[in-house]
């Protein structure tokens, strides 16, 4: 990764749909799907899907900070998945489908906390945000069949979609 590229790691349900939408965001240079947040070295899909590894299906995003910023990526993340469901996204249930932000810097942690506060204040979602904010650890790339899955299989499963007219307002910082 070059000095002109930053890294974000997010989990929000099945990684196929997240990758398909986040890769299209202007300024995103590369994406890959994988597993993170657990306690098993070199996890594979067959074990992660059981929910016993502690890992979440996640996406690693490389982006050009001259064309987009971390906040914009998080805003899209909160638009395309339901952050109020604990260990669930659509039909996918279990801790491997949890909503999580794996921050790589203290600044990312601060931006994540601020963005979640804005999501909760906005009323755009019907409940409290269940998204975890935790330090990024090892990211294990998923098997080749899972990379760019919805490009290979356009009618494949996804529970992610952009919500029309969804715009996250920033809360008034003086009253927050």
Check 10, 11, 14, 168 and give the catalytic one. 14
Q: Give residue 96's region: left, alpha or beta (phi > 0; psi -120 to 50).
A: alpha
The three state secondary structure string of 25-85 is CCCEEEEEEEEECCCCCCCCHHHHCCCCCCCEEEEEEEECCCCCCHHHHHHHHHHHCCCCC
* Half-sphere exposure in the Cβ direction for 102 (13 Å, CA): 23
String of DSSP letters for 132-169: EEEE----EEPPGGGTTHHHHSTTS-----PPTT---P
Catalytic (active site) residue 14: yes
The structure tokens listed for 136 are: 């990024």
Is residue 168 a contact partner of residue 78, using CB atoms and an 8 Å limit? yes
Angstrom distance (rounded) from CA 78 to CA 111 = 13
So which residues are the catalytic ones?
A: 14
């Amino acid at each position: 990764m070059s000095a002109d590229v930053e890294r974000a790691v997010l989990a929000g349900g099945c990684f196929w749909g997240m990758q398909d939408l986040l890769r299209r965001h202007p300024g995103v240079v590369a994406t890959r799907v994988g597993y993170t947040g657990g306690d098993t070295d070199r996890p594979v899909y067959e074990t992660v899907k059981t929910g016993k590894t502690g890992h979440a299906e996640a996406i690693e995003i490389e982006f050009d900070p001259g064309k987009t910023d971390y906040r914009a990526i998080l805003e899209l993340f909160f638009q395309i998945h339901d952050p109020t469901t604990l260990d669930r996204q659509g039909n996918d249930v279990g801790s491997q489908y949890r909503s999580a932000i794996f921050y790589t810097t203290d600044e990312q942690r601060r931006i994540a906390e601020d963005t979640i506060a804005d999501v909760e204040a906005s009323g755009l979602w019907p409940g409290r945000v269940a998204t975890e904010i935790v330090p990024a650890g090892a990211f294990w790339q998923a098997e080749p069949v899972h990379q760019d899955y919805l490009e290979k299989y356009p009618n494949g499963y996804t529970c992610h979609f952009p919500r029309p007219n969804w715009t996250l307002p920033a809360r008034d910082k003086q009253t927050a």
